Structure 1
Amino acid sequence: MKKNFPWVLLFLVIAGLIGRVIVLQIKPDERVVERLGNQSNRFGRTCSSRGPILDRRGEPLAISVPTASLYVDPRDWNTDNADKLSEWVSKEKTAILSSLKRGRFYWVRRQMEDEKAKKILDMGLEGLHVLQETKRIYPNETLLSHVLGYCDIDGIGLAGLELKWNDVLYTPSGWTMKTRGLRDPTIGGSEGRVFLTVDRRIQYILEKRLSDISVREKVKWGAALCLESNTGRIVGMASWPSFNANKRATLNNDNMTNNCIGRVYEPGSTLKPVIVAMALQSKLVGRNSWFIDNGRIKVADGWISNSHGRGKGKIDLSDVLIYSSNVGMAQIGIKLNPYEAYRDLEAWGFGKKTGVELNGEENGLLLPPERWYGVIPANVAIGQGIAVTPIQLITAFNAVINGGKLLLPHIVDRVEDGDRKPIYRSETVVLRDLLPPHYVDWFRKTLRRVIVEGTGRKADCKEVKIGGKTGTAQVAVKGEYSKKRMVASFIGFWPYDSPKYTLLVVLGEPGRGRYYGGDIAAPVFKAIVEDIERLNSGE
C-alpha cells in the first residue's frame, strides 16, 4: 500500500486539475467574461439603409451612399464653442448650440460632404461626434423623377416608387453587436431591390425630346410614354416639367405631377381609332361604309366641324381616320347607343385606373350614359366630352394594333428582398380580347396611310415604317371650349406591320401659336423613333 500511495496522490492531483478546467469552461469567472467581452464585442448603432432602384439592364436609377453627419452630446458639449460652428450651421442652430445643456444627442448638420465634416472635426471640439449615415441620391438627376419619387432625410420614401416599395427598400436604424475583427456593421444590409421595365437609354431619349419641344413651344405640360406593344411593359415614361430630387428646391406644385398617369385631358382625334373599333365590333359601321363630309355638320343642339374647316366630300371609313374627319366621326357618334358605348369604353379601360404599379393614377372622366344627350355622343366620337390619362389612351390604342389584346401595363419588372429572393414579378396579362385579327390588320394598314397620305406626314421616317394618328383637342374652360387653349398629340407604333413599340406624345397648351398635333407632336414622335432605332441598331 505504501508503495502505491505516491501514484494514488498523483492521480488525485491530476483529476482535480482536469475537473477545475472543466468547471472553468462550463462556468467561467464573471470578471474574465467581462474583460474578454470588452476586448472582442461591443454594442453599436446601425444606421438606416435603403436598397437601389435599377432599370431593366441593372443600371442604377436611385442608390444610397455613405455620408457623414455631425452631432453633439450636450453632456460633454462646451457651449462657448458654438460660434466656431457658425460658418457651417444657421444662426438659429448656432443660438441653440450656445445654450444646449440637456439631453444626450443633438444634430449639428446631417449628410455632409466628407471633406467639410473633416474640417469641422479637426477643430477638436469636445462633445462633437460623427455618425455615418446614408444619403439617397439619383445619379441621373431629373431622369424618371416622377416615377422614382423621393425620400426624406432619414431615407423614408415619400413619393413614387420610393413610397410604394418603401417596406422592401428601407431598413431602419437599430442596435447590433459589433465583433472586433469583423466588418463593422454601421449600415444595415438587409434591404431589397426594385428592377424596372424601363430602359434608362430610352427614358433619356423621351425626356430630352419632350423637354426640347416643351421649351421651344412654351408648352404648359407634356407627356411621352413608350411601351412594348406585345407585353405592355413600359420602356419609357416622361413627364414635363420635371424636377431633380437631389435638389429639393426644384420641387413645386407645377412639376410634381406625373402627367402620364395623373393628368386628365380630352384626347381629341387620337381616340378616333378606338371609337371606330367599337363601332366595327358593334356592327354600327363596316370597313366599306361611306360618309359625306362637307366640312361641318349639325348634330342636335350643336355643330361639329373639321379642325381645318374643309370637307372631303364622299369618303370611306379609312378616309375618316386618314384625314381625321370630325364630320365623319360625328356620323358614327350619333349611331352610338349611350349605354352600350359607355359599357364598351369601360371595357377598353376608360373611366378607371389601369393598374400600373404606381401611386397617383387618376380614373379619368367618363360621363354616365344618362348624360349622353344632344351633341355629346358626337363629341365623344371626336375625342371631346371624355377625359383620359395618357396611360389609359396608349393602353387602349395599343389593343387596336397589337392583335386586339388589352394588356395590363407594367413599369416594375421584379422586386427582391434582402436575401435576393423574388417577392414580386410582373407578367404579361391580357385583360380582354377586344378585336379579331382581320380588323387589326385593317387598322395597321389604315394608320400607315395616315402617315403616308394623311395628317401624320411629319411623323414619317426612313429608318422604319410607322403607323399612327394625330390629335388636336380644345381645352374646356368654365363649360366652354376655348379657341386659344389646345392639346396637341400624336400616337403611333412601329414597325407598322408587326408592332414592337407603341408611343404617345402629348403637348398640353403650347403657347407659341402652333397647336396642331400633326405640326408639333408628330415631328417629336419621329425624332424619338429615329433615336430608338439608332440605339437598337448599335449606332
Structure 2
Amino acid sequence: MQSKKRLRAVFIIFILLLGATIGKLFHAQIIKHEWLKERAQANWDREIPFGPVRGEIVDRHGKLIVGNELAPTLYFMPAQNPDPEGAAAKIAPIIKVDQKKLAKKMNKKDYMVKLAPEAKNISKAQADEISALKIPGLYTGVDFMRSYPNGELLSRLIGFTGYDGEGLAGIEYAYNEFLNGTGDKIRMYTDARGISLPHVDDDFKDGVEGSSVVLTIDSEIQKIVERELSQAMEKYDASQALAIVMNPKTGELFSLASAPSFDPANYQDANPDIYNRNLPVWMTFEPGSTFKIMTLAASLEENLIDLENETFNDPGYTMVGGARLRCWKREGHGHQTYLEVVENSCNPGFIEMGRRLGEEKLSAYIRDFGFGESTESGIAGEAKGILFAKDAFGPVEQATTAFGQGISVTPIQQVQAVAAAVNGGMLYKPYIVKEIIGPDGKASQSYVPEMKRRVISEETSAQVRKALESVVANGSGRNAYVDGIRVGGKTGTAQKVEDGKYKEGDYIVSFIGIAPANDPELVVYIAIDSPKNSVQFGGVIAAPIVGRIIDEIAPLAGISAQKGQIEKEYRWGDPITFEVPDLKGLTKDEVAKQQLTMRIEWHGDGKKINKQLPISGTEMNEEDVIHVYTD
C-alpha cells in the first residue's frame, strides 16, 4: 500500500515536471521565439553596411547641382578564406594598389575587415570584375560618392564631403544634418569562427535617405556669372574675383560666385585658402564709392540735399580737421548739381553730405542699412565687417566714411544695403536655401523672405533709383549701359590696405548695378581684386561686366525692354565695341583667313580651337584680347 502511494507521488511529480518542461518549451518556442531569435542573431550577426544615400543639392528650378553615384567598397572575412595572400594577388591589379599592403590588411584577425582606403569607392566596372572571381570571404558593400554634373560650378558655395561622407565645407557642412542619411545593411549570420550558418537566412536592414536641399540659386544665371568672372580673371590677371546676384524684393540669392574655383571631387588638390573662403560673405574690404549710395539715401531721407536744384562747388579737395581730402579728379569737378555729384562720384560732395548728416545720424543710418553685423544669410563663414568705434569717430573719420573709406564691409552686406535703398526702403535678409525636401518628396522646412526693418521711405528710394540710373546713362557707370534695359548703378575703386597702410597701385574695383532702375528685380555686384593690364577704376573694369551680365540674365529673370530709358550720348573716348565671333572648331589658318582686326592670343599647341574667352556673342572693346585654347 505504501509503495503504491510512493509510485503515485513519483508519477504526479513526473507529470508536473513534464508539464513545466512543456510550458517552458512553449514559452521559449512560441511566446518568446522572436525575442530569443533576435538575441541569438545578435551573437551571430555580421553586417555589411551600404553607404548612406546623401540628399541632393538642387537649384531653385530643381536642376541637379550635387548628386550621388555608385561607388562600391570591398569587405573581407578572413575566417572564410584560407589564402588571403592569393586573394590579394587577384584583387590588387584590378584596383591598382600595393599587393603586400592589401594582403597585410586581409590577414587581420578581425571577423570582418573593411578594405579601405585601398578598395573604398572603387568603380562599378572594377567591382564587377572582382565579383566574377568569386573569391571566398570577399563581399561588396554598396557605397556612394558625391557627383558634380556641372563640374566646378558653385564649388566655393556648395563645399564638399570628406572620406566618411560628412560635409566639411560650404552648404554640405552648414546643412549636413539635413543631407545626411543612414545606410542599408546586409545582415549575415555566422558562427564564432566566421563560418556562415546554413540554417539561417541572411537579412536586410533598411536605412533612411537624406533630405535634399533646394537652393535659391538659378544655375543658368550662375553659369553666366562664373563665365564672366573667369574671363575677367584671364583678361586682367586678377588675384581673385567675386559676384552676387540678388532679388532686392525678397533677399533671394540667384548667384554667389568666387574665382578662382576648384574641383569639389578632388578638393585635396586645391589650396585650402580657396575652398575655405567663400568670398562674397568672407572677404572684407573698404567698399569705396559703392558705399556712397548709403550716404546719398540718408541725405535724401533727411531732406538735406536737393538733387537737381542745389549746386556744390568742387575745387578738387576739401579741408576736414586740418586734413586735405582730395577728389579722385585732381582738378575737381567745379560747380555741379548734387545729381552731378552722384554721377561724377565726387568725394568732396559726399563729404558735405556726411557733414550735414552729422556723426550720430550717419552712424545710425549705416547700422540701419545692416553694416557692422552679420546679414544672417545662413552661409558658412560669414564675416561682420569693421566700423569705426564711437570714441574714434572724429571729423576726418566721419568724412572718409561718407565716401566709403576707412571702414571694412562684406560684399553681401553691400548688396543687402543697396537692395534696401532701391526696393522702397525695406531691408531684407539675404538667403540661399529655399526649402528642405524630405525622402518622401515633401518639404520638411521652407524659407521665405524676411524683412528686418524699413530704413528709408519709398519716396527717398525713388530718388535713389533715379540718381543711380543717371550714373549709368551720364556718369561714371556709363560702361554698364544696356540698350533697352534701364540699368542703374555705382562704381567703386578701393585702395587695398596692408599693415595699416594703403598699398600703392593695388586696388579692388567694383560695380553694383540694379535692373530695371525704375522697379528693380535684380541687384548685381562684381568686385575684381588686384586687376592688371588696365586703368584700375570700377567704371572701366567692373561696370562693363555688370552690364553684360544684366543684358544676358534679364530674360531669365523675366525682365523685358522698358520705356523711359535715359538715352546715352556718345562721348569722345568712349570705347568702340564689337561682338566676339565664334572661333570654336577652327584652325589657326582658318582664323587667319577671316582677317579679324582684334587681338587673338593662342594657348596650347593643338590643331583646333575647343574653347574661347570671351565666348561668341559677347560684346567687347576694340583693345581687348580674345583668348583661344586648342585641344
Mapped to 2, the partners of 1:187 and 1:247 lie a distance apart of: 31
* Correspondence 1:12-411 to 2 at 5 A: 27=30, 45-76=49-80, 78-81=83-86, 82-87=88-93, 88-91=95-98, 94=101, 97=104, 100-103=107-110, 104-107=112-115, 108-173=118-183, 175=185, 188-256=207-275, 257-287=277-307, 288-411=309-432
Deviations 1:333-390 (A, max 9, x none): 3344334322321111001100112111000111112111252211111111111111
Contact (CA 8 Å) 2:215, 2:435: kept in 1 or not?
yes
Say whether 1:416 aligns with 2:424: no
Contact (CA 8 Å) 1:75, 1:101: kept in 2 or not?
no
Residue matched to 1:492: 513
Contact (CA 8 Å) 2:185, 2:205: kept in 1 or not?
no
| 2:273 alignment partner AA | D
| 1:74 alignment partner AA | P
Distance 1:92 1:211, change over 3 A: farther
Mapped to 1, the partners of 2:430 and 2:453 lie a distance apart of: 13
| 2:85 alignment partner AA | D
Greater shift in the superposed pair: 324-333 or 381-390: 324-333
| 2:334 alignment partner AA | G
| 2:74 alignment partner AA | L
Mapped to 2, the partners of 1:241 and 1:466 lie a distance apart of: 28
Once the 2 structures are TM-superposed, how far is the Cα of residue 416 of structure 1 from its aligned partner? 2.6
Contact (CA 8 Å) 1:448, 1:496: kept in 2 or not?
yes
Mapped to 2, the partners of 1:153 and 1:98 lie a distance apart of: 19
Q: SS of the counterpart of 2:209?
A: coil
Q: SS of the counterpart of 2:364?
A: helix
Residue matched to 2:191: none
Residue number among 493, 496, 502 corresponding to 1:481 in the alignment: 502
Greater shift in the superposed pair: 126-135 or 334-343: 334-343
Residue matched to 2:613: none
Once the 2 structures are TM-superposed, how far is the Cα of residue 198 of structure 1 from its aligned partner? 0.9
Residue matched to 1:4: none
Mapped to 1, the partners of 2:218 and 2:225 lie a distance apart of: 11
Once the 2 structures are TM-superposed, how far is the Cα of residue 154 of structure 1 from its aligned partner? 2.3
Contact (CA 8 Å) 1:342, 1:368: kept in 2 or not?
no
Q: SS of the counterpart of 1:461?
A: coil
Distance 1:98 1:231, change over 3 A: closer
Deviations 1:406-458 (A, max 9, x none): 11111111113333443321112221111112211211111111111111111
Deviations 1:223-281 (A, max 9, x none): 11011121111111111111111122442133221111011011100110111112333
Once the 2 structures are TM-superposed, how far is the Cα of residue 61 of structure 1 from its aligned partner? 1.0
Flag the structure with more relative contact order, 1 or 2, with Cα contacts below 8 A and sequence separation at least 6.
1
Q: Alignment length, in residue pairs?
A: 506
Residue matched to 1:12: none
Deviations 1:500-532 (A, max 9, x none): 111111111113343211111011111111111
Greater shift in the superposed pair: 371-380 or 246-255: 246-255
Mapped to 2, the partners of 1:212 and 1:441 lie a distance apart of: 34
Mapped to 2, the partners of 1:521 and 1:285 lie a distance apart of: 29
Mapped to 1, the partners of 2:335 and 2:342 lie a distance apart of: 14
| 1:260 alignment partner AA | P
Contact (CA 8 Å) 1:80, 1:98: kept in 2 or not?
no
Once the 2 structures are TM-superposed, how far is the Cα of residue 176 of structure 1 from its aligned partner? 7.1
Mapped to 2, the partners of 1:72 and 1:42 lie a distance apart of: 11
- Root mean square deviation, CA, Å: 3.0
Mapped to 2, the partners of 1:538 and 1:83 lie a distance apart of: 64
Mapped to 1, the partners of 2:113 and 2:466 lie a distance apart of: 70
Q: SS of the counterpart of 1:260?
A: helix
| 1:55 alignment partner AA | D
Contact (CA 8 Å) 1:48, 1:154: kept in 2 or not?
no
Distance 1:29 1:95, change over 3 A: closer
Mapped to 1, the partners of 2:134 and 2:46 lie a distance apart of: 25
Mapped to 2, the partners of 1:400 and 1:92 lie a distance apart of: 66
Contact (CA 8 Å) 1:73, 1:106: kept in 2 or not?
no
Greater shift in the superposed pair: 276-285 or 317-326: 276-285
| 1:426 alignment partner AA | Y
Greater shift in the superposed pair: 158-167 or 260-269: 158-167
| 2:126 alignment partner AA | K
Gaps of 5+ in 2: 1-25, 189-202, 561-631
Mapped to 2, the partners of 1:224 and 1:171 lie a distance apart of: 33
Deviations 1:271-325 (A, max 9, x none): 1011111233344444444321112223224332222324111122211110110
Q: SS of the counterpart of 1:247?
A: helix
Distance 1:279 1:370, change over 3 A: farther
TM-score, structure 1 as length reference: 0.86
Distance 1:91 1:334, change over 3 A: farther
Distance 1:508 1:185, change over 3 A: farther
| 2:315 alignment partner AA | N
Mapped to 2, the partners of 1:130 and 1:487 lie a distance apart of: 53
Once the 2 structures are TM-superposed, how far is the Cα of residue 399 of structure 1 from its aligned partner? 1.0
Once the 2 structures are TM-superposed, how far is the Cα of residue 534 of structure 1 from its aligned partner? 4.6
Mapped to 2, the partners of 1:105 and 1:479 lie a distance apart of: 57
Residue matched to 1:13: none
Distance 1:98 1:233, change over 3 A: closer
Mapped to 2, the partners of 1:275 and 1:59 lie a distance apart of: 40
Once the 2 structures are TM-superposed, how far is the Cα of residue 483 of structure 1 from its aligned partner? 2.7
Q: SS of the counterpart of 2:312?
A: strand
| 2:55 alignment partner AA | G
| 1:487 alignment partner AA | I
